[in-house]
C-alpha cells in the first residue's frame, strides 16, 4: 500500500457550518474526509459537473469511483489552528417583502456570525492507494471555496502488520470506513458522518514513520432506505 503523509495549510478563512447555534455558525477544527476527497480528486476522478440539478449529495456514486481506483483519504487533524469571527448582515427589501425575524426583535434572520478557521491553520492527513497517486498542490475547500496548499511530507510503501495487540490510530477516522472494532474513542460530532479520534483499535494496521493507520479502510455508506 502506498501511503502519502500530507500537510494542508489554509491561505484563506475556511467555513462550513458544523454547528448552528442561533445566529452563530461554527466550523469544526477537523476536516471531513468527504470534503478532502472531493477537493483532491474532483478534477481527475470524481468529476462532479459544474451545474447540479439537485442539492442532494451523491456521496456513494462519487466516492465509489475512488474505491474502484484503490484510493482512500483520511480526515485531517489540526496541527496549528486559529479562528476568525465574522459578522454578516443582509439587507431586507421591505418594499416588496415583509421583514422576517428570528426569535425576538433583537435577532433578525438577516444577521449572523460565522466562526471560521483562520489563514495559516495547518492540518495533517493521509492518502492510501494501491499505486502512486498525483495530488494537486492547490485545492479549494468549504462554503467559500477557500484556497489551501497541499504538501506531501513523505511517501512510503507499507505492508499491513498482523493484529497482535491493540493500537491507537494516529488520525481521526470515519467509523463507517474502518473495518476494525474501536474499543474506545473520542467522538467528533459533524455532518454528514461524525468522526472518531484517538481510536483504540484491534486488528491489522499500516505503520509509517512510527504512525499507525488501520488497514482495510474504504468509503462505505449506509444502505439506502427503500
Q: Mean of the pLDDT values across residues 77-97?
A: 80
pLDDT band at 226 (very low <50, low <70, confident <90, very high): very low
Higher-confidence residue: 147 or 17?
147
- What is the b/e burial string over 53-87, where b = at least 16 CB atoms within 10 angstroms of the residue's CB? eeeeeeeeebbbbbeeeebbbbbbbbeebeeeeee
Domain ranges of the chain: 2-158
Crossing angle for the helix pair 59-68 and 33-41, to the nearest 10 degrees: 70
* pLDDT value at 150 more than 70: yes
Number of Cβ within a 10 Å radius of residue 104:
7
- pTM of the predicted structure, to 2 decimals: 0.88
Percent of the chain with pLDDT strictly greater than 70 = 89
Helix H or strand E encompassing 157 = strand 146-157
What is the rounded average pLDDT for all residues in the chain? Answer: 88
Percent of the chain with pLDDT strictly greater than 90 = 65
Amino acid at each position: 500500500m502506498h501511503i502519502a503523509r500530507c500537510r494542508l495549510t489554509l491561505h484563506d478563512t475556511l467555513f462550513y457550518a458544523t454547528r448552528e447555534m442561533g445566529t452563530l455558525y461554527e466550523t469544526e477544527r477537523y476536516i471531513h474526509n468527504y470534503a478532502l476527497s472531493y477537493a483532491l480528486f474532483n478534477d481527475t476522478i470524481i468529476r462532479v459537473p459544474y451545474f447540479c440539478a439537485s442539492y442532494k449529495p451523491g456521496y456513494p456514486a462519487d466516492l465509489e469511483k475512488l474505491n474502484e481506483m484503490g484510493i482512500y483519504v483520511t480526515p485531517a487533524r489540526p496541527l496549528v489552528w486559529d479562528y476568525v469571527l465574522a459578522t454578516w448582515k443582509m439587507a431586507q427589501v421591505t418594499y416588496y417583502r415583509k421583514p422576517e425575524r428570528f426569535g425576538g426583535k433583537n435577532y433578525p434572520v438577516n444577521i449572523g456570525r460565522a466562526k471560521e478557521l483562520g489563514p495559516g491553520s495547518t492540518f495533517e492527513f493521509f492518502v492510501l492507494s494501491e499505486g502512486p497517486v498525483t495530488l494537486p498542490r492547490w485545492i479549494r475547500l468549504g462554503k467559500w471555496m477557500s484556497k489551501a496548499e497541499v504538501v506531501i511530507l513523505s511517501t512510503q510503501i507499507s505492508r499491513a502488520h498482523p493484529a497482535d495487540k491493540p493500537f491507537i490510530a494516529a488520525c481521526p477516522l470515519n467509523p463507517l470506513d474502518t473495518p476494525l472494532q474501536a474499543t474506545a474513542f473520542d467522538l467528533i460530532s459533524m455532518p454528514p458522518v461524525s468522526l472518531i479520534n484517538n481510536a483504540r483499535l484491534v486488528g491489522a494496521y499500516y505503520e509509517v514513520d512510527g504512525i499507525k493507520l488501520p488497514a482495510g479502510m474504504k468509503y462505505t455508506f449506509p444502505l439506502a432506505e427503500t
